[in-house]
Structure 1
Amino acid sequence: MAVALWSLRRIGAALLTLTIVSILIFASVRLMPGDYLDLVLGPLATDEQRARAVLESGLDAPVASQYFAWVIGVLSGNLGYSFVSNVSVSAEFAARMPITATIALMTLIVTLILGVPLGFFSALRAGRSGGATGRVISALGVSIPEFLLAGLVVFAVSSLGLGLSIGRFSPFAEDPARFLGALVLPVSVLSFGCVAVVARSTRDAVMNVLVEPHVLAAVARGETPGFIIRHHLIRNAAAPVLTIIGALVAVLLGGTVIVEFIFDIPGLGSYLQTALGRRDYAIVQSAVLLAAVVFIVTSLVVDLVANLVDPRLRLTEGNRR
């Protein structure tokens, strides 16, 4: 019963947060400097042309009516039409989202395969040469911005070749090998920072568990290192690692904006980049809302899973209240 009530509170908080975020997104997009009518019609448009464009785009309605119409459309799967190209936003998202999702998924897989073991290795060898190497790699990954690393990669590939190519994207249905090959560089750039963050978080979580009394007692009992890692370290260090991984899932959607633009990948990120330049409200607010939904839902799922793995988190929260 306590778990059910706790879960319901978490779900309610997530829904409230999503509602507030949707209002902020809707308002922020309309407060952006510039007017999309100037971009679409140009400075020489007549008042009649501007009035007709406003009427066709629905911008003549009260702001509150525009917001509720947008929310109803989103809930029904209708994200509206681009103000600039008059193309269905839902159709564009459906075509581009698989590309961005593939980049994010591949990055997440690489991050888990490399980041978690590197964090464990660095924590277990703290004070030795191997642990120092892990810390240096983590520090470099966290310090180098994605746009700088992507620029360096583009320069290296353009200058040295290295058997890789940029700007040769092809849909998976037409050429699967070319599709995956075009994603190697973007995934590598995104993975560099993500691996560093996960490795550092895993290292900190494991080192915090290593000084717990039950771990010290296990060492005193003469239990083998493998047994201690499997039965004491992994589960107790899992909650903070799951939290940071959940946050990375949402961050990856934002990170793809940079790498998709630099590596000329026609995903959701590059689509949002173009829409921002055009002040295309329908695309911008829907894309940002999608990122917010992914972040909030992922955080909710991570909270639920983490508290199942480690009930102490739920008990700690209850004690604070």
Structure 2
Amino acid sequence: MRLFSWWIRRALGAAATLVGVSILVFLALRAMPGGFAETILGPFASEEQQRELAQRYGLDDSALAQYWLWLQAALGGDFGTSMISQEPVADELSSRLPVTGQLAVMAVLAAVFIGVPLGVLTAVRARADGGGTVGRLLSGLGVSLPEFVLGSIVVFLFSRYALGLSVGGYVPFGDDPAANLRAMILPAAVLSVFAISATARTTRDAVLNVLVEPYVTAAVARGESPAFIIRHHILRNAAAPVVVLITTITAYLLGGAIIVEYLFNLPGIGSYVVQAVGRRDYAVVQAGVLLAAAVFIVLNVVADLLVGLIDPRLGVTATGRQT
């Protein structure tokens, strides 16, 4: 019963959050200087031309009427039609989702398989002479290095010199897997630097907190090997904050790959939504922001459930509360 109540509260909270996000993005778009008619027709268009274009797309209605019509359609799965391409927004986003999704998945896998071991290593060697110093420096540099700086350097080097990987020229994975990976490795590597660094830093702090626990001291006193202690005593007890971070990073990567997509000319959701903002393509921006918010909410729920499986003391199944 407690778990059912938690699901009800979480569903109501998610619905309220999505409605709030939709209102904010709707109002923010219409508060920007230069509407759709002015942007498309240019500054020298007559008032009659602007009025005619606004009437064609229903932009002459009140903001409340426009929002209500859009919300009703969105609840039915219809996110409108792009005012630029005249294509359904849902189709446009679904065709670009595999690009952004693949980019995020590759970056998250790098964070898990590089960041977690690096964090464990720096924590275990924290008390050694100079141990973990290189790892701490690299993680600090990775967190503070802007993506556009690193991405620009990578684009220059691999465009100037023949280093075996291509910049741009995206090919769907189903058409040519090898060409797809050649085009996606570089942007995924640039995007993963922050994810790896943040994961390594969080893992290090979590492991250091676990190392001082009595059961770790008891395991050392029993003569258990360091590898056994790490696998059976440290990783699981330090996993909760790392899991939360990785799910949060996944949501961030799905919505924050804009710079990388622009630099490497990838037809992803991020670059598509940014272009729509410049063109005042309202339906595209509203649907894109709503999709990002929904992904973030879903991944937060997944994080709660995973934390509950890892440590039932922290899980919603044990307490009936959100952690």
TM-score by length of 1: 0.92
Alpha-carbon distance between aligned partners in 1 of 2:322 and 2:144, rounded to the nearest angstrom: 35
> Residues 14 and 300 of structure 1 are in contact (CA less than 8 Å); yes or no, is this contact kept in structure 2?
no
Q: CA deviation at 1:72?
A: 2.6
- How many Å separate the matches in 2 of 1:86 and 1:9? 38
Give the 3 Å change call, closer, same or farther, for CA 223–97 of structure 1 in structure 2: same
Residue 160 of structure 1 corresponds to 161
Letter in 2 for 1:278: R
Q: Please state if 1:127 is matched with 2:127.
A: yes
Identity of aligned residues (%): 50
Range with greater deviation from structure 2 (218-227 or 23-32) = 218-227
Which residue does the alignment assign to 2:101? Answer: 101
The residue that corresponds to 2:84 in the other structure is 84
Q: Deviations over 1:2-48 (max 9, x none)?
A: 44433443333333222222221222222223222111112232333
1:178 aligns with 2:157: no
Which SS does the other structure have where 2:237 is aligned?
helix
Q: In 1, Cα distance between the equivalents of 2:164 and 2:321?
A: 58
Partner of residue 43, structure 1: 43
Paired position in structure 2 for 1:294: 295
What SS class does the counterpart of residue 201 from structure 1 fall into?
A: helix
Q: Give the structure 2 partner of residue 259 of structure 1.
A: 260
Letter in 2 for 1:247: T
1:243 counterpart residue number = 244
Query: Aligned equivalents of 1:17 and 1:133: distance in 2?
Result: 41
Gap regions ≥5 residues in structure 2: none
The structure carrying a bigger helix percent of its residues is 1
Separation in structure 1 between the aligned mates of residue 213 and residue 4 of structure 2, nearest angstrom: 29
Other-structure match for 1:222: 223
How big is each residue's C-alpha offset from its partner over 1:237-279, in whole Å with a ceiling of 9 and x where there is no partner? 1110011001111110233211111111111122112112112
Q: What secondary structure sits across from 1:312 in the alignment?
A: coil
Map 1:11-90 → 2, pairs under 5 A: 11-90=11-90
**Paired residue type of 1:52:** E
For residues 7 and 120 of structure 1, the distance between their equivalents in structure 2, rounded to whole angstroms, comes to 34
* Per-residue CA distance 1:176-224 (angstroms, 9 max, x = gap): 3222211111001011111011111111111111112232233233333
Judged with a 3 Å threshold, the aligned counterparts in structure 2 of structure 1 residues 143 and 50 are, in CA distance, closer, same or farther, namely: same
Q: Secondary structure at the match of 2:126?
A: coil
Equivalent residues, number: 321
- The yes-or-no answer on 1:5 pairing with 2:9 is no
Query: Structure 1 residues 76 and 231 mapped into 2: Cα distance closer, same or farther (>3 Å)?
Result: same
4+ aligned runs moved over 4 Å, structure 1: 314-321
Distance, in Å, in 1 between the alignment partners of 2:267 and 2:321 is 49
TM-score (norm 2): 0.91
Aligned-pair distance for 1:119? 0.9
Partner residue, 1:313:
314
Q: What SS class does the counterpart of residue 235 from structure 1 fall into? A: coil
Q: Is the alpha carbon distance of 1:91 and 1:187 closer, same or farther for their aligned partners in structure 2, counting shifts above 3 Å?
A: same
The one-letter code sitting in structure 1 at the alignment partner of 2:9 is: R
> Aligned equivalents of 2:104 and 2:47: distance in 1?
45
Q: Does 1:141 align with 2:142?
A: yes
SS at structure 2 position matched to 1:236: coil
**How many angstroms apart in 2 are the aligned matches of 1:144 and 1:206?**
25
Gaps spanning 5+ residues in structure 1: where?
none
Task: Provide the rounded CA distance (Å) in 2 between the counterparts of 1:7 and 1:215.
Answer: 36
CA contact (8 A) 1:36 1:278 kept: yes
Aligned pairs for 1:201-212 (under 5 A) are: 201-212=202-213
